[in-house]
Structures are given as C-alpha cells and as structure tokens.
C-alpha cells in the first residue's frame, strides 16, 4: 500500500489518543483507554492469546476494564502502560525485553512487570530493549539489545548493569535529573527531563546521539546550544534518528537521513556533503552534530502534530529495519 487509506470501523472518529508501530505490528489507544492491535504476531506481540497474524485492528480483550495510557511497540514485543501506572509486556522475551527474566521465551497475553513497583509515567521500546520513567523521575531499562554493540565498541570496558539486565534496572548517570519522558531507537535510548534537557546513550552509528563517541555506555546530555538554548518539551525517536520540539514550537531533527526521515536537506557542517546526502558517516565533533531546526514545523504545537510525528517516526523506522 503506497497511499494512505482510511481505517474504518474499529473505533469512533476522533477518539484515538495514541498511535504507534513496531517491527511489523501496530497499536492504537482510544480516548477511553481501549487498546486495538493488528499485524505480525508470531511471538504473541499483539497480546491476543495466540500467534496468528491479524489483518484488522482488534481489541485486546484481556485488557478490557483496564484503561491503557500508552503503548510502545518494539521489534517483536509490546510494552503497555495502564492509566494507574502499571507496566505490562507481551511478545518475544529472547533478549529479556519483556522485563521478566525467568519467564518463557515469549508471552502471548500481557503480563505485569512486577519489579516496577513505583507508578510509571512514560514507556518506550527499541529493537530489543525497553525503558520506563517513574513518577519520581527515575529511568529504568531492560533487555540486552544494546549490549552486543556496547561490548564491541567499548572493548575493555565493563558495561553498566542496565545495558545487560533482563529485568528493569535503574539507569545510572541520571541521578541529578528528573525524567518525564523516555524514547528509544533500535540501539539507543533517550530521556527528557523536567528541566527541558535531553540525555542520550547507546549506539551512535548515525550521529543520532550528537556525540563523537561511537557508543555511549552512560547517559550524556545534549548541550542546550544545539536547541538554540531553548528547553526541549517533547522528543520522538525512529530506529536511527531523533525528533525534538522546544518550548517555542521549533522542531529539530538529526541522525540518519538517507530515507529522507529528517524532513530536510543535510547541511555541510553536519559532517556530510550536500550532494552525497549520506548520513552513515560518523560525526566529526559535537559542534558538527548540532541538530538544525526544521523550519517548516516551527510554531507547531505538540498536540497538533503528535500523531503525524509518531507516524513519520514509526514509518521510517520500519523502512530502516534491515539496515
């Protein structure tokens, strides 16, 4: 399907709260807190109690009566946040991405992640890892999806526990900040604080972490000058690129760009030539990794384009799935 087509009959128009997509599955949360899912389901990532592919948005009946606040779709698993702050998971657990270390290799019905006892306010899912931010601003990570590249690129270093944990482990290096939102790419993680600061860690192959390092084993703050000294109010992540919005409505994009996912032409100071348009080259330094503003969206509000950005991020993520 190359052109957008309206999806009918699964919920009333105008009642959709959130939309997200994973490696081959999609999820919608309605204003009433109902969860609808469809797509690839070989590991039970749809949470419907079976592993058959589902072609139409279908309600997750096991969660009826349990209002959902947010859902995050990874490659072959799903993380679900309820309105009371509890986190559930389903799908593949081959890399500990369900946060249940002694559980089965896959789970076809959403199960609670018991280790997360504090109320959670934000969740995110990468290729094979997941994140949660609690009401007190602590960030937890689980799943070993970042560990292999971390060991390869940080040879001789001992990786932090949260990069290798198969159950929620507190992310160290964020003790002096309060997280309000988390995001995840295929092999990187992001935390947005209540002070409007962005912290990033993980694989930096495409410059998505705005750093000279090939891999950041612990969180590193992206300097405020990268966002024209404005506070960041929202952040989204594709597999290998990032989108951020500041307090005045400016939108910044950076990272991989060879599918046009940044919504702009690259500038020479980003480390690539205008003609080449190749974002696979490493960043040559923090100053040359500065995320430029996406002027066509300047002045947009988060509520106005939240769904559009979610669709752009998830669509381009799926295009990058084999890269």
Q: What is the mean pLDDT of residues 59-65?
A: 93
CA distance 72 to 86: 14
My answer on whether 167 and 52 are in the same domain is no
Q: Is pLDDT of 282 > 80?
A: no
My answer on whether 38 and 99 are in the same domain is yes
The answer to whether the CB of 98 falls within 8 A of the CB of 111 is yes
The pLDDT assigned to 303 comes to 39
164 domain residue, yes or no: yes
> Could you list the residue range(s) of the whole structural domain that residue 194 is in?
120-257
239 domain residue, yes or no: yes
281 domain residue, yes or no: no
My answer on whether 149 and 247 are in the same domain is yes
My answer on whether 109 and 144 are in the same domain is no
* pLDDT per residue as tens digits for the range 292-315: 655 445 544 443 344 444 544 554
3 domain residue, yes or no: no
Of 257, 276, 293, which residue sits at a domain end?
257
My answer on whether 45 and 140 are in the same domain is no
My answer on whether 245 and 148 are in the same domain is yes
Q: Is pLDDT of 129 > 90?
A: yes
Of 83, 114, 145, which residue sits at a domain end?
114
My answer on whether 105 and 131 are in the same domain is no
308 domain residue, yes or no: no
Query: What CATH number is attached to the domain comprising 94?
Result: 2.130.10.30
4 domain residue, yes or no: no
The pLDDT assigned to 12 comes to 73
Contacts by residues 106-110 (CB-CB < 8 Å, ≥ 24 positions apart): 106/43, 106/44, 107/44, 108/44, 108/47, 108/48, 108/49, 108/50, 108/51, 109/44, 109/47, 109/48, 109/49, 109/62, 110/47, 110/60, 110/62, 110/63, 110/78, 110/80
Of 54, 85, 114, which residue sits at a domain end?
114
Q: 61: Cβ–Cβ under 8 A, 6 or more apart, which residues?
A: 48
CA distance 309 to 94: 30
CA distance 181 to 190: 8
The answer to which of 137-151, 194-208, 249-263 has the lowest mean pLDDT is: 249-263
312 domain residue, yes or no: no
Number of domains in the chain: 2
In terms of pLDDT, which residue wins out, 210 or 319? Answer: 210
Instruction: Name the strand (E) or helix (H) holding 190.
Output: strand 188-193
Q: Is pLDDT of 7 > 90?
A: no
* pLDDT per residue as tens digits for the range 166-223: 999 999 999 999 999 999 999 999 999 999 999 999 999 999 999 989 999 999 999 9
306 domain residue, yes or no: no
Confidence of residue 289 (pLDDT cuts 50, 70, 90): very low
* pLDDT per residue as tens digits for the range 82-93: 999 999 999 999
My answer on whether 25 and 136 are in the same domain is no
What's the burial of 85, exposed, middle or buried (CB within 10 Å: 0-12/13-18/19+)?
Answer: middle
């Amino acid at each position: 399907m190359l052109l957008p087509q309206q999806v009918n009959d699964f919920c009333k128009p105008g009642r959709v709260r959130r939309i997200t997509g994973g490696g081959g599955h999609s999820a919608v949360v309605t204003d009433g807190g109902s969860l609808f899912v469809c797509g690839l389901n070989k590991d039970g990532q749809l949470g419907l109690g079976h592993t058959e592919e589902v072609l139409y948005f279908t309600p997750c009946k096991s969660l009826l009566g349990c209002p959902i606040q947010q859902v995050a779709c990874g490659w072959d698993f799903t993380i679900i946040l309820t309105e009371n702050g509890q986190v559930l998971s389903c799908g593949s657990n081959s890399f500990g991405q369900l946060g249940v270390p002694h559980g089965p290799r896959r789970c076809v019905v959403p199960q609670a992640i018991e280790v997360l006892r504090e109320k959670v306010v934000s969740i995110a899912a990468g290729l094979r890892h997941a994140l949660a931010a609690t009401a007190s601003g602590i960030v937890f990570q689980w799943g070993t999806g970042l560990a292999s590249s971390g060991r390869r690129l940080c040879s001789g270093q001992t990786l932090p526990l949260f990069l290798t944990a198969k159950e929620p482990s507190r992310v160290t290096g964020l003790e002096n900040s309060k997280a309000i939102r988390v995001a995840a790419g295929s092999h990187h993680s992001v935390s947005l604080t209540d002070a409007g600061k962005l912290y990033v860690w993980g694989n930096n192959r495409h410059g998505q972490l705005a750093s000279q390092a090939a891999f950041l084993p612990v969180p590193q703050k992206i300097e405020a000058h990268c966002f024209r000294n404005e506070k960041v109010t929202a952040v989204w992540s594709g597999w290998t690129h990032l989108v951020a919005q500041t307090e005045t409505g400016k939108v910044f994009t950076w990272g991989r760009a060879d599918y046009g996912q940044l919504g702009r032409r690259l500038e020479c100071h980003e480390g690539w030539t205008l003609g080449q348009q190749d974002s696979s080259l490493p960043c040559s330094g923090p100053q040359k990794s500065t995320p430029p503003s996406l002027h066509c969206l300047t002045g947009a509000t988060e509520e106005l384009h939240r769904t559009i950005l979610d669709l752009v991020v998830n669509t381009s993520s799926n295009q990058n799935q084999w890269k």
